[in-house]
Amino acid sequence: MELQKVERLARLCETCPKMCRHVCTTHVVTRSEADTPNERSSIAYRALLRGYFFPEEAPYMYEKCATCGLCLAWCETGIDVGEIMLAARVDLVNAGMAPAAAAAVQRNVQNQGNPHGEPASERYAAIMDEFQALPNTAEVLYYAGCDTLYRQPEIAKAALKVLRAAGVDHTMIKSGEPCCGEPLRLMGYIEDFKATARKVMDGIAETRARTVVCTCPSCLRMLKEVYREHGIEAPAGVEFLHMSEYLLRLTASGQLKLTTPVHLKTTYHDPCDLGRRQEIYEPPREVLTSLPGIQFQEMFFNRRDARCCGAGGGLAATNLELVIKASKTVVNLAQDVSAEVLVTACPTCKTSFHRQTYKLDDLKTMDLIELVAMAL
């Protein structure tokens, strides 16, 4: 079983006083003893000992964990329950026991190239004019990702606007940007994940780019780290950056000038995949606080302790109700500091918070790149 790779973690976790429940994204919503990091890893450990899962155990592996890493940040012994869940999901897929929602995500990526099942032909619909004007090859590749293009296309629009304003030689994958494969990995379809990862790397090679810039932290993590962990290497010499890191370079070199005041009271949410998972905490803050006119205040839980938007781990597909409840935790923290804009640097987080803030008059959700585009 894939779980054998994480046996030590699961065994240690089973014998713990399990206080990490008090930070767990899903437990703080449900307050149920069945929804603790320890309970989930114990179910996986017992399945490993007996060599198979009972059908009723599958939902606990899929629908209860955002793979947010908050328990890992708290855990003295360094147990990554999210990693245990992902190993369990591989075993469940191999046993033909993946839930229908997971199988639907897999079909959507295979058939339409995105986890949402949106038509492949509409991938660039919101940015078609800009996309068609891009060259086939360029120094910098902007990899937008499915959640940006299908759910938050304003992020792609803003990113292309900023790159254009800075005079960056840039493009996207003109032959068609494949999904980064993260939804497949999260649902346990690891062989399909590796196949899509190879397609992404081929697409990058076609553009001959030396720098790949992502506005989605999960795409970045896949391209920069996780593909390599699965033996899929990037073309030699290619560097991968989050947009916030690249923006810092552009402003430091004077290539990007941000002069229009943005008079807004903001706070910043660390996306799990950007913060805890890649330790990119300061670049987004440096970009945000450098904008003329901006006011900024940290939320009580920030950086490593930042709460999760709820939509990690594929939960938006398997347990949307829980995502909606979990996102409220962060929105409340933003309201506590009287922010007018809850800024994040991830299209998935933006979608999650927007489900709450679209109803509010005094708090909006925006991606960092949208504020940067306002400051041009």
Which residues here bind ligand SF4, judged by CB under 6 A? 12-13, 16, 18, 20, 24-26, 37-38, 40-41, 65-71, 75, 77, 79, 81-82
Gap between the Cα atoms of 189 and 250, Å rounded: 38
Instruction: Report the nearest approach of ligand SF4 to the CB of residue 64 (Å).
Output: 7
CA distance readout (Å), 350 to 194, 223, 228, 370? 27, 21, 28, 11
Gap between the Cα atoms of 351 and 226, Å rounded: 24
Instruction: Report the nearest approach of ligand SF4 to the CB of residue 72 (Å).
Output: 7
Instruction: Return the number of the residue (113 or 314) whose C-beta is nearest ligand SF4.
Output: 314
Instruction: Report the nearest approach of ligand SF4 to the CB of residue 305 (Å).
Output: 12
Instruction: Report the nearest approach of ligand SF4 to the CB of residue 284 (Å).
Output: 21
Instruction: Return the number of the residue (331 or 371) whose C-beta is nearest ligand SF4.
Output: 331
Instruction: Report the nearest approach of ligand SF4 to the CB of residue 337 (Å).
Output: 23
Candidates 216, 188, 238; CA nearest to 311 is 216
Instruction: Return the number of the residue (276 or 354) whose C-beta is nearest ligand SF4.
Output: 276
Q: Which residues have C-beta within 8 Å of that of residue 252, sequence separation ≥ 6?
A: none
Gap between the Cα atoms of 198 and 233, Å rounded: 9
CA triple 326-345-277, angle to 5 deg: 70
Instruction: Return the number of the residue (68 or 369) whose C-beta is nearest ligand SF4.
Output: 68
Residue with tokens 């229009």: 260
Instruction: Return the number of the residue (40 or 123) whose C-beta is nearest ligand SF4.
Output: 40
Gap between the Cα atoms of 218 and 146, Å rounded: 11
Instruction: Return the number of the residue (37 or 99) whose C-beta is nearest ligand SF4.
Output: 37
Instruction: Return the number of the residue (37 or 145) whose C-beta is nearest ligand SF4.
Output: 37
Instruction: Report the nearest approach of ligand SF4 to the CB of residue 230 (Å).
Output: 21
Instruction: Report the nearest approach of ligand SF4 to the CB of residue 13 (Å).
Output: 3
DSSP string, 137-182: --SEEEE--HIIIII-HHHHHHHHHHHHHTT--EE--TT-PPP-SH
| Environment class of 259 (CB within 10 Å of its CB; exposed 0-12, middle 13-18, buried 19+) | exposed
